[in-house]
Amino acid sequence: MVIEFETVTRDIAALIEEWESKLSGLSNEVITNHTNNQNRTIKQILGHLIDSASNNIHRYVHLQYRESPMEFPNYASEGNNDRWIAIQQYQSEDWEKMIKLWKYINYHLIHVVRYINPEKLDHTWIAGQGRNISLQEMVFDYLRHLNLHLSEISELMAVE
């Protein structure tokens, strides 16, 4: 494993352990009615985090065998992540199944990160016009993104 990623994978695993029970304990009203500044409910935020893990796994894999810089769809640009949330109907998905999917897709992401080829860390993804992101940057940014959205969920849990 790339030594710099040990902290990232350990922190993701710790967040999974911390948040699984927090999420399981939430009422249906809290997960479906409280919204953030993007008008997303907790269920929709968790759905977005599932999508984020899935898309990042695909990027991590593609960046290790495709030519760099790599073109790959950016599901988060131009409101596409909201389309993903709507099309997949996360608001009506079974909550306990979503929690398990979020948990296990993140464990798989950790597994993939542990086996990233260090020789490919500088391979880049074209994230937008004039914006290339290296595989190494992408791995570190995933943890930041995960923490950002878990903080949003935490704020929504506190809303009365």
Percent over 70 (pLDDT), the chain: 99
Check residue 134 and give its pLDDT. 98
pLDDT, tens digit, for every residue of 86-145? 999 999 999 999 999 999 999 999 999 999 999 999 999 999 888 999 999 999 999 999
pTM of the predicted model, to two decimals? 0.95
Q: So where are the chain's domains? A: 5-157
Check residue 72 and give its pLDDT. 85
Least confident of 27-31, 36-40, 114-118: 36-40
What mean pLDDT is predicted for residues 142-151? 97
Fold classified for 5-157: Four Helix Bundle (Hemerythrin (Met), subunit A) (1.20.120)
C-alpha–C-alpha distance, residues 48 and 53, integer Å: 9
C-alpha–C-alpha distance, residues 54 and 125, integer Å: 16
